[in-house]
Amino acid sequence: MAINKNITVRNMSKSSSNFRFFYRVANFLLLRKNKAHLAVFLLTILLIPSAINALEPIDLEAYNIDAEEIIAEELKQILTNR
């Protein structure tokens, strides 16, 4: 299944190099559409665990950061609880 070259060449100007590149990529992928679908599926499966980890909240207490802001916040909590 190929794209009609007469229509696309007539519509392309010399400055449309991005469109020409996409045309070559599309022709390459159309001939290998089953492999392209498989590649997209496998990449999606590989990225799902990373996406789940990225959406989890960060536990700041797990890090041993002695930043002045954290110490000040802890001191403020101690003083307000008295």
- Condensed to tens digits (0 to 9), the pLDDT of residues 12-64 reads 555 567 678 888 888 898 999 999 999 999 999 999 988 888 888 877 676 66
**Which residue has tokens 């299944």?**
1
Whether the full predicted model's pTM is greater than 0.85, yes or no, is no
Tokens of 5: 């070259």
d(CA 67, CA 63): 11
Q: Backbone phi, then psi, for 40, in 5-degree steps?
A: -65, -40
Contacts of residue 70, defined as CB under 8 A and 6 or more positions apart, other chains included, come to: 60
